[in-house]
């Protein structure tokens, strides 16, 4: 009889513990559901913001593309009016020099290769009557004006 009572008490304790664990887990589930709902609203807000930013970016991108097309048309017009020999000379240098096709001369040095240029070449650059190239790297040289330096 004692052993049955002991087993009954142990079973009651286990049932009570199991019920308490179930109640605790139900509270955890409720808290997690609230967190999920909060995160879902944050996701929806973030998605709305993303869509609005995407729309703004698309609008700016279409504007940039339109301006780019205008620049290309203007460039084509100017190229058709240019001296073709000078243009081919420029494009030949641009193939290997990329964005440094024409570079300024400062302190009697080419700012493409950073080597000093001789006095004769420097005098030609100062005159600016003809296209002058660097004897070292072949880039087109020009003198910076005071306006260029101020920028």
CA 119 to chain centroid: 43
Q: Do residue 56 and residue 92 come from a single domain?
A: no
Mark whether 132 and 119 lie in a shared domain. Answer: yes
* pLDDT for 93 beyond 90: no
Based on the domain organization, do 128 and 140 belong to the same domain?
Answer: yes
One domain, residues 65 and 100: no
Does residue 90 sit in the same domain as residue 42?
no
Q: What share of the chain in percent tops pLDDT 70?
A: 96
pLDDT at site 146: 62
Q: How confident is the model at residue 24 (pLDDT cuts 50, 70, 90)?
A: very high
> What's the whole-number average pLDDT of the chain?
91
Q: What is the pTM of this model?
A: 0.51
CA dist list (Å): 22 to 10, 26, 28, 36, 133? 18, 6, 10, 21, 86
Among 81, 115, 133, give the residue marking a domain's end: 81
Domain count of the fold of the chain: 2
Q: Are residues 12 and 54 in the same domain?
A: yes
pLDDT at site 13: 95
Q: Is the pLDDT of residue 148 over 60?
A: no
Encoding tokens for residue 132?
A: 């002058």
> DSSP readout, 120-141?
HHHHHHHH-SS-EE-TTT-PEE
Rounded distance between C-alpha atoms, residue 105 and residue 142, angstroms: 6
User: Span 64-93, mean pLDDT?
Assistant: 89
Q: Quick check: 149 pLDDT over 70? A: no
Buried b (16+ CB within 10 A) or exposed e, 48-85: eeeeeeeeeeeeeeeeeeeeeeeeeeeeeeeeeeeeee
pLDDT band at 147, cuts 50/70/90? low
Same domain, 135 and 66: no
User: Residue 100's domain spans which residues?
Assistant: 84-150
d(CA 24, CA 16): 12
pLDDT given for residue 74 in this prediction = 95
């Amino acid at each position: 009889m004692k052993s049955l009572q002991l087993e009954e008490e142990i079973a009651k304790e286990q049932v009570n513990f199991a019920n308490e664990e179930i109640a605790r887990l139900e509270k955890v589930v409720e808290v997690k559901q609230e967190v999920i709902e909060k995160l879902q609203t944050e996701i929806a807000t973030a998605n709305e913001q993303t869509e609005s930013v995407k729309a703004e970016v698309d609008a700016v991108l279409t504007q940039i593309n339109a301006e780019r097309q205008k620049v290309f048309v203007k460039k084509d017009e100017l190229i058709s009016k240019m001296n073709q020999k000078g243009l081919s000379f420029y494009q030949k240098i641009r193939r290997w020099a990329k964005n440094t096709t024409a570079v300024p001369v400062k302190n009697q040095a080419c700012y493409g290769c950073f080597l000093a240029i001789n006095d004769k070449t420097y005098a030609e650059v100062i005159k600016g009557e003809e296209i002058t190239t660097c004897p070292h790297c072949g880039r087109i040289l020009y003198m910076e004006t005071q306006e260029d330096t101020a920028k």
